[in-house]
Amino acid sequence: MFSGIVEEMGVVKSLVRGLAGARLSILASAVLKDLQLGESVSVSGVCLTAAEVGEADFSADVSVETLDVTTLGVLTPGAAVNLERALKLNDRLGGHLVTGHVDGTGILRERVPTGNTVLLTFEVPGPILRYCIPKGSMTVDGVSLTINGVMENGVSVAMIPHTAKVTTLGIKQPGDPVNLESDLIGRYVERLLQHGGTLPESSTPVIDHDYLHKRGLT
């Protein structure tokens, strides 16, 4: 689980493809502190597992499905990526709850300077757009953002100078693809409402001698 507060921008060292997926290596610094094998790192919004950790880089295996449904499949050496380590239970939640399980990709359509911010407009697929609401949250390339407005086929967000400086959103240009993750809470609410506000009924087991015996309790 992540918060969508990017710790640093890393640089792609290599993306080596194979029949079963790819091995992605990334140059980094801040996220390498205390990073252990098997721990999770959000790479531009995609939760990956550290398979190798070096002094100046780390590597992770990327499945074929992840390559197909995220922007990781088009990364090239030298490309910048947003990096965030998994949350600790005692961390402040500065953004919102982010799983790192990307729902799909969108397209940056427009960036318009407005005062000290930049208004970004993203084209968002319908299945993701349904969970977007004004003043709600969404994750774009691993960055937790507040939605300013919702249109027929996308959303707009205001990017503050700090976000532009420390994340790849500051260098994204119209036409660039981005990874999108909708608000987790909205999906749970929808699922609950599909069942009329109640959970599916479950049968109550009969606690007898056979029940206890099958579970090694007698």
Domain boundaries, the chain: 8-85, 104-194
Helices (H), 35-77: 64-69
Q: Which residue has the tokens 């774009």?
A: 140
Architecture of domain 8-85: Beta Barrel (2.40)
With a CB cutoff of 8 Å and minimum separation 6, the contacts of 44 are: 70, 71, 72, 81, 82, 141, 142, 168, 179
Whether pLDDT at 165 is above 60 = yes
Question: Which amino acid is it at 99?
Answer: T
Query: Which residue in the block uniquely carries the two structure tokens 């490309």?
Result: 79
What's the pLDDT at 134? 95
Residue 201 contacts by C-beta under 8 Å, 6 or more apart in sequence? none
Which fold, 104-194?
A: Elongation Factor Tu (Ef-tu); domain 3 (2.40.30)
State whether residue 212 is helix, strand or coil: helix
pLDDT band at 100 (very low <50, low <70, confident <90, very high): very high
How would residue 192 be classed by pLDDT, with cut points 50, 70 and 90?
Answer: confident
104-194 has the same fold as 8-85: yes
Q: What is the largest CA-CA distance in the chain?
A: 73
Statement: residue 188 has pLDDT above 70: yes
- pLDDT score, position 208: 72
Is residue 170 scored above 80 in pLDDT? yes
Q: What is the pLDDT of residues 64-87, one digit of tens each?
A: 999 999 999 999 999 999 999 999
Assign 63 to helix, strand or coil: coil
What sign for the dihedral angle of Cα 100, 125, 72, 79? negative
Q: What is the mean pLDDT of the chain?
A: 92
pTM, entire model:
0.86
Residues 6+ apart with CB under 8 A from 153: 123, 124, 126, 129
Token pair 């949250």 is found at 137
Confidence (pLDDT) at 201: 60
Phi then psi for residue 4, to 5 deg, are: 85, 10
Of residues 8 and 188, the one with the higher pLDDT is 8
